[in-house]
Structure 1
Amino acid sequence: MSRRTISAVIADDHPVIQLAVKTTLSEIPNVQVSAMCSSGGELCAALKAHRPDLIVTDFTMGHSEQSDDGLRLIQRLKHYSPDTPIVVFTMLTNGGLLTRLQESGIAGIVGKNEAPDILRQICMDAISGRGLRLSPGISARMSRAGALAGGSASRLSPKEIEVVRMFAVGSTVTEIAEYLKRTLGTVATQKRSAMRKLNITSNADLVAYARDNGLT
């Protein structure tokens, strides 16, 4: 008796990464990639259309009024299909944000700078329902972050992280407020709070922080 086909969807805003992930998944027996998406909106649509057995997605992708990424996207995916395992393939380096990500109910996190066989094995574990799996690189990043005195970055709230990410990619405070459906004053306060926690005093340094920690 032949084994059933396992459906997977991929999301990344870089076509080369999409192809690399597809090639990696194709080496898992009976896995078939049903859709390749370049945004959170496309991924949510593919989830509804294909009802996949596995999602492999980037964390940071371009967003618009119709498309989320980051923690908001993970929350949407878990809402639409709570039992579908999610593996996040990412360049994130911020230990605090990685901790929040692993607490979101996903199946695995893999660094984009790691070998394809690591991604393949974690996807196989996700399909098998073996619980949260972290790649060696991600585990090392989180261990280093946990050893840092103070760990100020880990104290950013999910809402503050959203504001920092959107500001760093060029959105104004007014645009962020409209997109997140918050008041202008609330967003401004969240931005100031994040900068204070990170001991950052200029917008340029905030953008640099987001870039250096894989938030853009």
Structure 2
Amino acid sequence: MRELKVVIADDHPVVLVGLREVIQRDERFSLVGEALNSSQLIDLLMLHQPEVVITDFNMPGDETYGDGLPLIEYIIKHFGAVKILVLTMVSNQLIISRLLEMGVAGVIAKNHIHEEIGKALNALSNGRAYTTPMDQPLSVVANVKVIDERFSNLSPREVEVLRLFVAGNSVGEIARLLNRSVKTVSTQKISAMHKLEVLNDHALLTYCIKADPFES
């Protein structure tokens, strides 16, 4: 049986070490590259054309590839044959459902990675998608009225905040990433919610995923 080439990506070295050890012990797979950010990941995909990529959902991105949903969408669009396992600390079912709707092979919660990664690799080696208890289908497309013109009212800074929010970051994490105060980020997020006419985080996330305003 031919070995399946694997690329792994995570900005936490400890996670990479753990994944490396699991993959190198499995004769069905061959680890061909490790990345710490989005650009490195895409470079490795172009170079090696692997059958499997295991990537963190949130890691340092860039203007070209980003992270979170935009990064996964880019990989699916440009590397259609690769099977994608997504590692995440995000528990929001809307994001998980959106990833599955996009076509990823599986989503693994990082706090269960040691128990689940072996099961996931077994599934992929047998040509199956990997399902976990967190993979419960929940429509984020149907029954959501989208008025795209509302996004034209957002300021560039509000769009930045929403992009990072949809990627799974908290207000505090967004403030750190954008080098702004938590108060400023919170104000910009609330302002965006008013302009989009949504009342809570759940509705905001649903609206943004449906409208997909961050697609390049």
Please state if 1:134 is matched with 2:139.
no
Question: Structure 1 segments of 4 or more deviating over 6 A?
Answer: none
Distance in 1, matches of 2:36 and 2:106, equals 20
Q: Is the 8 A contact 1:53 1:127 kept in 2?
A: no
Letter in 2 for 1:41: S
Change (3 A) 1:73 1:115: closer
Three-state SS of the structure 1 residue aligned to 2:30 is strand
Please state if 1:71 is matched with 2:69.
yes
CA shift, 1:190, in A, is 6.4
Q: Equivalent residue for 1:208?
A: none
Q: Equivalent residue for 1:198?
A: 201
Between 5-14 and 21-30, report the one with greater CA deviation: 21-30
Change (3 A) 1:72 1:199: closer
Select the residue among 44, 52, 55 that pairs with 2:50.
52
Within-5 A mapping of 1:74-153? 74-131=72-129, 133-136=130-133, 138-139=134-135, 142=136
Q: Equivalent residue for 1:18?
A: 16
Three-state SS of the structure 2 residue aligned to 1:103 is helix
**Gapped runs of 5+ residues in structure 1?**
173-187, 201-216
Q: Is the 8 A contact 2:108 2:117 kept in 1?
A: yes
Letter in 1 for 2:58: T
TM-score (norm 1): 0.67
Three-state SS of the structure 2 residue aligned to 1:114 is helix
CA shift, 1:96, in A, is 1.1
Q: Is the 8 A contact 2:28 2:125 kept in 1?
A: no
Between 23-32 and 4-13, report the one with greater CA deviation: 23-32
Q: Is the 8 A contact 2:38 2:62 kept in 1?
A: no
Q: Is the 8 A contact 1:163 1:190 kept in 2?
A: no
Letter in 1 for 2:110: K
Change (3 A) 1:192 1:7: same
Indicate the percent of aligned positions where both proteins have the same amino acid.
23
* Cα deviation 1:107-161 (Å, max 9, x = unaligned): 0111111152421221221233213x2223x24xx58xx7xxxx9xxx799x985
**Matched positions, count:** 173
TM-score (norm 2): 0.67
Q: Equivalent residue for 2:209?
A: none
Distance in 2, matches of 1:125 and 1:199, equals 32
Distance in 1, matches of 2:145 and 2:108, equals 22
Distance in 1, matches of 2:145 and 2:19, equals 31
Please state if 1:43 is matched with 2:41.
yes
Change (3 A) 1:199 1:89: closer
Three-state SS of the structure 2 residue aligned to 1:109 is strand
Q: Equivalent residue for 2:163?
A: 162
**Gapped runs of 5+ residues in structure 2?**
152-158, 179-190, 204-216
Q: Is the 8 A contact 1:61 1:69 kept in 2?
A: yes
Kindly report the root-mean-square deviation, in angstroms, between the aligned alpha carbons of the 2 structures: 3.5
Change (3 A) 1:199 1:130: closer
CA shift, 1:30, in A, is 3.0
CA shift, 1:191, in A, is 7.9
